Every structure is written in C-alpha cells, then in structure tokens.
Amino acid sequence: MGAAASEKREVPGQDGVLKEKTARLSVASNAFLVTAKLAVGFAIGSISIISEAIHSAIDLIAAIIAYFSVRQSARPPDECHTFGHGKYESISGLLEAVLILAAALLIISEAAGNLLGEGETLDVDGLGLGIAVMLLSAGVNLYVSSRLMRVAKQTESIALESDAWHLRTDVYTSAGVVAGLVLIRLTGLVVLDSIVALAVAVIILRAAFDLIRRSFEDLVDRSLPPDEESRIREIISSHCTDVIGFHRLRTRRSGPNRFVDLHLVVPRTATLEEAYGIVKEVEDDVKREFPRTSVTIRVQPCTGEDCPACAIYTVCDHAVHRD
C-alpha cells in the first residue's frame, strides 16, 4: 500500500456519501429478490428456493443494518464519542452474523422436515420458473456484491464488506440451487431439493462464524493486521536517527478508522519546536498512507541511561529495537 494507491482513495467526507449510496442499492436489490424467491418458492413448493428466499431476507435485514451503521460511523467525534463512531460498523457485522445463524438453523429445520415428509410437495412441472428466478438472483447478486466489495475496499468499510460477502455467498448458493433443480428435472429425485437446501445452510453457517470472528477482533481492540502494522513501523522508523527512536507502539481498528499511538524519544536538548516538528512529520506520513488514522504520540526525552523501558524497547542508540 503506497502513496500512489492512497491518492486514489476518496476523502473521508466523500466516503460516507458513497457508502450510503451503495448500501441503499443492496437494500433495494435484496427486497426485490426476497419477493421474487418467496413467490416462486411457494408457487412450486421448492424448499431450496424458499431457503434461498430466507437467506435473501436475512441479507435484506443485514443490508438495512449496514446502511444505518455506515451512516452512524460517518458521524464526526462528539462529546460522548470522542474516538468517533467507527465501531457501529463492527457491531453491525456481529448483528448480521447472529441473523445469518438464525437463518441457517431455520433452513436446516425446514429441509429436515421436508426429508421426513412433513413439507410441501415439489411441483416438478414448475421447475423452469424456479431455475429462471435463481439465475436472475445469481446475476443480480453478482453485480451488487462486486460493487459493494469495490466500495468496501476503497472506503475500508467492514459493514459493506460483510454485506458484499453475504451477497457473494448468495451467488454460490443460487448456483447450487439451480444445479439441484436441474438434476431433479433430469432424474426425478425430489429429495435432492432438501439436500441442496442443507448444503446452502452449511455455507451460510461458515459465513456466519467467519463474520463473528472478524467483528469480535475489532470490538476487542485487536491490533491492526501484521502487514499494516509493519508498514506503520517502517514509516515511523524512517524518521529515526541515532538520537531519535520510538517504542510502545500500539494499534487498533474501529470500523473504517485506525488508531495508532506510540512513545517518541528525542534528545534531551531538543526544543519544543523541534520535537513538535518531528511529531508532525511522523503523523503526516502515517496519515498520507493510511488516511483514516488517528495518531497519538507522546514525546519523552532520551535519558541516555539504562532503564526498564530501554531494556525492552528501542530508545535512540541505547538498545536494540525489540517491540
């Protein structure tokens, strides 16, 4: 991730508008697909299509949650939220995961009941309509998920990325349902409808557990990914000399926002103006490559003596950098 790449990003103010617009597209597409799948699923009695409708209904709720979360996360810091509102997106991801789990359990229940002969009878003659609506679903979700993922990467929005992965999962499951319906038409084995529905549920469960893990990482203030933290270290180190160093670097993420804080060690003889100049350069360089980053730097003078901090961290030229 270099300076050239960062120049292509939207500024934070524009990001909020772009995220809201993209989230609305997801809400509209999911609402349309839920209606179409439910109508066809009940019309021909296909549990696999109905399960996909349930999946899309959960995606619709998730898209609505994502829409409101990106609106909230875009709000500037205030007296009650001095670090901003970025974690609204992480909470959104966790809520979406819970909804996905509920959907998967409901699909498993419906499919199991169908296997035991407790469900509706599949209308084999209406399979053509079912195949058509599932192909339409796959095409719409492929387009919307690709657009969501592009905006999510551009704006570093976990809420939109989660929504994109939901819809991308829908593409795969829709393709699986189509394959199952085609096989039913070729073989006459109606039981394949419930088996495909169970396979859809397994895929949904996997997506839910992955989303729970990622959401919790942000909510419990896990450090930034190793590659990002390593790059931040490189940027800070580029300002270090024999008499300037740093230690106690800490990083975390809150929605699309990053937070970095560290101790910057300067010579005891440095003036306040000189120390501030170094701090400003470090902040500017980090923010240039990672625009949505809050950098907090505590300046401390180099003692030139052995101390507990020097025994663990780099301070000027008095120890080897180990943190």
109/212 same-domain check: yes
Q: Are residues 109 and 245 in the same domain?
A: no
**Domain end among 219, 254, 281:** 219
Q: Taking the complete model, does pTM exceed 0.75, yes or no?
A: no
Q: Do 243 and 201 reside in the same domain of the chain? A: no
Average pLDDT estimate for 253-258:
75
* CB contact at 8 A, 201 and 104: yes
3-class secondary-structure state, position 20: helix
Could you give the percent of the chain with pLDDT greater than 90? 2
| pLDDT tens digits for range 30-70 | 888 888 888 888 887 777 778 778 777 877 877 787 777 77
Judge if 185 and 269 occupy the same domain. no
Total number of domains constituting the chain: 2
Confidence of residue 305 (pLDDT cuts 50, 70, 90): low
Q: Are residues 257 and 277 in the same domain?
A: yes
Q: Does residue 253 have a pLDDT over 50?
A: yes
Q: What is the pLDDT of the chain when averaged over all its residues?
A: 75
Cα 65 to chain centroid, rounded: 13
Q: Provide mean pLDDT across the span 17-41.
A: 84
Structural domain that includes position 22: 3-219
Q: Which of these ranges, 88-102, 116-130, 144-158, 240-254, has the smallest mean pLDDT?
A: 116-130
pLDDT of the residue at 34:
86
Choose the most confident range, by mean pLDDT, from 113-117, 151-155, 300-304. 151-155
Q: How confident is the model at residue 117 (pLDDT cuts 50, 70, 90)?
A: low
Question: 200, 219, 238 — which closes off a domain?
Answer: 219
Q: Does residue 50 lie within any of the structural domains?
A: yes
256-277 residue pLDDT tens: 678 898 998 888 878 888 888 8
Query: Domain check: are 200 and 230 in the same one?
Result: no
- Identity of the highest mean pLDDT range in 110-119, 218-227, 293-302: 293-302
Q: Which of 162, 188, 219 is the last residue of a domain?
A: 219
Q: Are residues 163 and 33 in the same domain?
A: yes
Instruction: pLDDT band for 321, please (50, 70, 90 cuts).
Output: very low
Question: Is 45 inside any structural domain?
Answer: yes
125 and 249 both lie in a single domain: no
Alpha helices in the chain (DSSP H): 3-7, 12-44, 47-73, 87-115, 127-155, 158-187, 192-219, 226-237, 272-289, 308-312
Q: Enumerate the β-bridge partners of residue 298.
A: 263
Together in a domain, 262 and 197: no
Query: What distance lies between CA 159 and its chain's CA centroid?
Result: 5
pLDDT tops 80 at residue 100 = no
pLDDT for residue 82: 57
Q: What is the pLDDT of residue 2?
A: 41
Q: Which residues of 286-315 are buried (b: 16+ CB within 10 A; e: fewer)?
A: bbebbbbbbbebeebebeeeeeebbeebbb
Asked whether residue 322 is assigned to any structural domain, the reply reads: no
Based on the domain organization, do 123 and 263 belong to the same domain? no
Q: Is pLDDT of 232 > 60? A: yes
